[in-house]
Amino acid sequence: AQKVTQAQTEISVVEKEDVTLDCVYETRDTTYYLFWYKQPPSGELVFLIRRNSFDEQNEISGRYSWNFQKSTSSFNFTITASQVVDSAVYFCALLITGTASKLTFGTGTRLQVTL
């Protein structure tokens, strides 16, 4: 069975601080994908990144960066110089190849960025 753990329930930072959201996953499959989604108060899930299990390169996109470490089964997400608009709930998710669109989500981390 697959499992995604986001141990941080809620994080509060002041604008311009850097913040890292942790994600640890469990699976016995060797081929899988990892995702991060953002859920603003409006409710829809906004896709941020997809990474397959064979690509351990870290990725940077503007103020966002992701660190994938297979050795520790972690896929952490860092926001540099946080902004108030980053306030949302962030979900990490796992997809096993060949299982349709059956994403397994973590319980989410609520990020509050204040002025």
CB-nearer residue toward other proteins: 19 or 34 = 34
Residue 64 binds to other proteins (criterion: CB under 8 A): no
Cross-strand partners of 59: 66
Stretch that binds other proteins, among 18-26, 46-54, 68-76, 78-86 (CB under 8 A): 46-54
**Cβ-based nearer residue to other proteins, 69 or 107:** 107
> Residue 44 or residue 115: which is nearer to other proteins going by CB?
44
* CA–CA separation, 60 and 44 (whole Å): 23
Q: How many residues bind other proteins (CB under 8 A)?
A: 25
Which residues contact residue 28 at a Cβ distance below 8 angstroms, ignoring those fewer than 6 apart? Answer: none
Q: By CB neighbour count within 10 A (0-12 exposed, 13-18 middle, 19+ buried), where does 77 fall?
A: buried
- 72 phi/psi in degrees, rounded to 5: -110, 5
Which chain residues interact with other proteins by CB under 8 A?
A: 4, 33, 35, 37, 42-47, 50, 91, 93, 95, 97, 99-108
